Amino acid sequence: MIDAIALRSLAAVDRLGSVVAAADSLGYTASAVSQQVKRLEARAGVALLEKYGRGVMLTEAGRLLGVATVTVYRWLRDGFITGEQLTANAPWQIRIDQTIRDRVVPTVPEGWIGLDQAAAALGMARQTVLHKVQRGQLQAVYVNRGQRKGLRIKVSSDQAGLFDQPS
């Protein structure tokens, strides 16, 4: 399982290019951020950061999913992937299992459309479409390569829009 707080710290290091800057932005000490990244590295069994000039950057292993760490953190927050807390106030953790692997694909599957097109096709707001994805009422994948990166929704012709009357 991956600690979501440590993932957030890694995302900040990636975005800002240094452990000190990440710590300042998150309100942690540099030591705390460094320890969180080391826990992630120990869990993954590989280095996730490498020195780059006077700062640091993600290694290839750090980019393995093909998405930015902030994207994974947003997915956790938005419910696209699920997390768990083992005890109250413990860090959130996500499990990279086959379900998540199936949701991250290199190319757009046939018949899957972008969020804006799905909202238009269903006659509802983007946020409503996302809520339906979170509740499992719509299927979604994240395309992680090419020019068509991003969330894709499967909308079949028999799915009712917001104002459609059931037959």
pTM beyond 0.85: no
Say if residue 43 is in the same domain as residue 90: yes
Query: If you average pLDDT over residues 117-145, what whole number do you get?
Result: 88
Whether residue 112 sits in one domain with residue 60: no
Please indicate whether residue 153 or residue 51 has the higher confidence score (pLDDT): 153
User: Would you state the pLDDT for residue 147?
Assistant: 76
Residue 91: both structure tokens together? 């860090």
Q: What is the mean pLDDT of residues 74-85?
A: 69
Answer yes or no: do 12 and 67 share one domain: yes
Give the C-alpha separation, 92 to 59, whole Å: 24
68 and 103 part of one domain: no
> Is residue 167 situated within a structural domain?
no
Summary mean pLDDT of the chain: 79
In degrees and rounded to multiples of 5, residue 161 shows phi and psi of: -80, 180
Query: What is the band of 131 on the pLDDT scale with cuts at 50, 70, 90?
Result: confident
Q: Do residue 87 and residue 118 come from a single domain?
A: no
Confidence band of 165 (pLDDT split at 50, 70, 90)? low
Distance CA 85, CA 105 (A): 27
**Share of residues in the chain with pLDDT > 70 (%):** 72
CA-CA-CA-CA torsion sign (150, 63, 7, 12): negative
pLDDT class for 154, splitting at 50, 70, 90? very high
Q: Is 165 a domain residue?
A: no
Q: Which domain holds residue 149?
A: 98-154
Residue 162 lies in a domain: no
Average pLDDT over residues 4-15: 83
Q: Please report whether residue 20 resides in a domain.
A: yes
CA distance 72 to 153: 18
- Band (66; pLDDT cuts 50, 70, 90): very low
Please check whether residues 106 and 149 belong to one and the same domain: yes
Residue type, 136: G
- What pLDDT score does 2 carry? 65
> What total number of domains does the chain contain?
2
pLDDT of residue 87: 76
